[in-house]
Amino acid sequence: MSTLKRKMVAVSVATVWTKPESPRPMDELALKEPARIREWLESMTLQDKLDLCLENRVQTQVLYGSSVFVSEEREGWSKVLIPQQGTRKDALGYPGWVPSCQLVDEAEAPVGTKRAEVISDQVWLYKNPSEPLMELSYLTSLPVLEIMEEWVEVQTPEGIRYLKADDIRLIDGPLAPRDGEGHIGRGIVEQGKRFLDLPYLWGGMSSFGYDCSGFAYAMHKYVGILIPRDASDQAKQGTLIDKDQLEPGDLLFFAHEEGKGVIHHVGIYAGDNQMIHSPETIKCIEIVDLRTFNLAKEHCASRRYWK
């Protein structure tokens, strides 16, 4: 393998494509710098969104300020590996292609710096307290330079910027510490409920749209737990849980051929025979009753990551 270069994502949400030829003309909004993620999503019809999956165009997404490895560059595209998104596809991180214009050389964060992690659904990043620049996703994380009463000064790929203090929490590393009080699994479910009615997005890893495993990944990340990116990998780690031992926050996996085939879906057990999940392109994040859920016969395994 060629020498890896460390880069940082310089757009609100970088969509990671299967290959440079994967995007369609309509996807130009997602390829720009800045990426116009909200406009891109609003411009697509249901069929356009289905096509992202059916033609295997998109692999995943990665948030502003995240570190990636670049293993190859060609004709305005960079092949990246995303270290925080674990996968069997590559030990160094989730692979795919992003436009090179959406990456910058990694800036070294000051030693011992706290990080500001976005805990509102979406927030604005400001050039100064009166000039909004870019809309960021939930769980975007940036190094803190100074804490003020109403604002937090942060280091970004493009220099010093500002976030409203009410929109973030301060953490001491890349992950928030696990909450030692209360039921962590219930905390995962409660975070999930805030995104009820958010439309599904194939490959989605931001609060502009999640796929099923991206939703499970993000809700665990909020409570300080990093799980693999894809459902098939998520089903191989954590602690195996029997059906009669399920607790809120456990992951439920579904496979073709009534549970004997390939895993294709994951949801979060919400208690009382209910599950919260991001179902499919034609739907939004929802809570369903497992007794009447159309995939109930495909339930093949349950895993717990939260203790």
What span, in angstroms and rounded, lies between the C-alpha atoms of 128 and 189? 35
Task: Provide the pairing of β-strand 13-17 with 274-277.
Answer: unpaired
What 3-state DSSP class applies to 82? strand
**Closest by alpha carbon to 299, among 220, 228, 246?**
246
Tokens for 262, please give them. Answer: 């390939």
Element (H, E) at 154: strand 151-156
- Phi, psi (5° rounding) for residue 134? -155, 140
In DSSP notation, 4-55 reads PEEEEE-SSEEEEESSTT---GGGHHHHSSS--HHHHHHH--HHHHHHHHHT
What are the residue numbers of the active site? 212, 265, 277
Q: How many whole angstroms separate alpha carbon 23 and alpha carbon 18?
A: 9
From residue 169, give the alpha-carbon distance in Å to each of 92, 172, 191, 258: 28, 10, 14, 42
